[in-house]
Structure 1
Amino acid sequence: MTSFITGLPRSRTYWFAEYFNGKHEVLNGCKSKEDFYERAEGYVNCDSGLIISDWREHWPEAKTVIIHRNLGDVIDSLHKKLRVTGELVDFLYKQAIALDSIEGLHIPFNEINDRLEDICKFIGEEYKSDYSDLMIQKNLQLDEITGDVDSLMIWKEK
């Protein structure tokens, strides 16, 4: 079953992709919308850029988990990995507002570990306590933050 986990950057989307043996930032590298649809089909897709796509139109029944992280904390975390510009801060602010309007299960960032069973149940995945306890101990983060501008442009086409 295709499902999605999204949030601002640095909201554990990479960790979730590993947890669910899903896909992370599947939007990157797509040459067309159809490419995205094919890559995402049947997986738990964990992508902080999801809101720029038309995932809801293509998968209207897909379960979506939205992770809410404090914008200041996101910016602080991003500062460790890249140069944060005013333009990026403006984009993140707009993204945070857009996340509020997504229908799905909304989880505060600091409640992820305590709500893993709820998240699993919501997206239709089996919750395994021992596995969850093991994964919680792992600090899984990408060393480098990348984005594919060409892939993002496919969503600007009409």
Structure 2
Amino acid sequence: MRRPNKKKYTIIALIIVGVMILSPVLSLVISAMAPSTVERDITKQIDDETALKIIDIYRNLNEYIGKELSMELHFVSLEGSEEYKDIFSLGVTATLDNGEEKFFELLAQTEDGSIPEGLEDFDKVQVTGSIKDSFEETHEDHGHTTNVPIMTVKSIEKIENQDN
């Protein structure tokens, strides 16, 4: 009867163990050296000044409370929403570096609580108002709370000559 060659099996076992140890280490080194393809800070992915302003309002809400703002935005009615009765949306669509479009918005209400008449969804408007209030909104899908600013609108006028 022939005995198996112990040296041969030892070498094979060492190679297998070496590969098992080096594979994860090598993948960590490669991933650490590779440039990041995902930009975490959305402000570095967009160029639209109005969208950046809206992001800044969310991030630095206390700095904007009571401060008068004037912006060109798009009107969006929230009609039919029981949760946002007497509130409408004002925002702008911005294109990210990867080509994806996102709508950056502020919730808004008029001083008298009425919805502006004569406006249709995505009409471009000139808005003047101030951030007077906010409320906490909980994101159940990823478990955190956001302070959502509400703009109190003093004037809103449709811009007739719309480019977009």
Q: What TM-score does the superposition give when structure 2 sets the normalisation length?
A: 0.23
Q: Comparing both structures, which one devotes a greater share of its residues to strand?
A: 2
Q: What TM-score does the superposition give when structure 1 sets the normalisation length?
A: 0.24
Q: Comparing both structures, which one devotes a greater share of its residues to helix?
A: 1
Q: Which has the larger radius of gyration?
A: 2
